[in-house]
């Protein structure tokens, strides 16, 4: 049985994006990384609190296939 999991996301122009970088989707599909973004590098060096918003135009530029434009 799936547990409640806190998912954070910086893509602020996604339909499922909620305040403080939370993802509100019921299900999430994530594919393999294509490249390491600046946001990921910042998070790795500073932790989740350093995440900044990173709007995108389409799911193909993210690793999250759940993305829907807001």
Digit-coded pLDDT (tens) for 15-38: 999 998 999 999 988 776 555 555
Say how many Å lie between the first and final Cα of the chain, rounded. Answer: 30
Residue 1 has pLDDT above 50, yes or no: no
62/50 Cα distance (integer angstroms): 19
Mean pLDDT across 38-50: 56
Mean pLDDT across 47-58: 70
In the prediction, which pLDDT does 43 show?
52
Inter-residue contact 25 to 32 (CB < 8 Å) = no
15/22 Cα distance (integer angstroms): 11
pTM of the model as a whole:
0.64
H or E element in which residue 43 lies: helix 38-46
H or E element in which residue 38 lies: helix 38-46
Please report, rounded to a whole number, the percentage of residues in the chain having pLDDT higher than 70: 67
């Amino acid at each position: 049985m799936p547990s409640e999991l806190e998912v954070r996301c910086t893509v602020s122009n996604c339909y499922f994006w909620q305040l403080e970088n939370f993802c509100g989707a019921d299900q999430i599909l994530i594919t393999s990384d294509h490249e390491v973004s600046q946001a990921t590098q910042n998070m790795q060096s500073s932790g989740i609190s350093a995440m900044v918003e990173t709007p995108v135009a389409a799911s193909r530029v993210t690793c999250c296939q759940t993305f829907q434009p807001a």
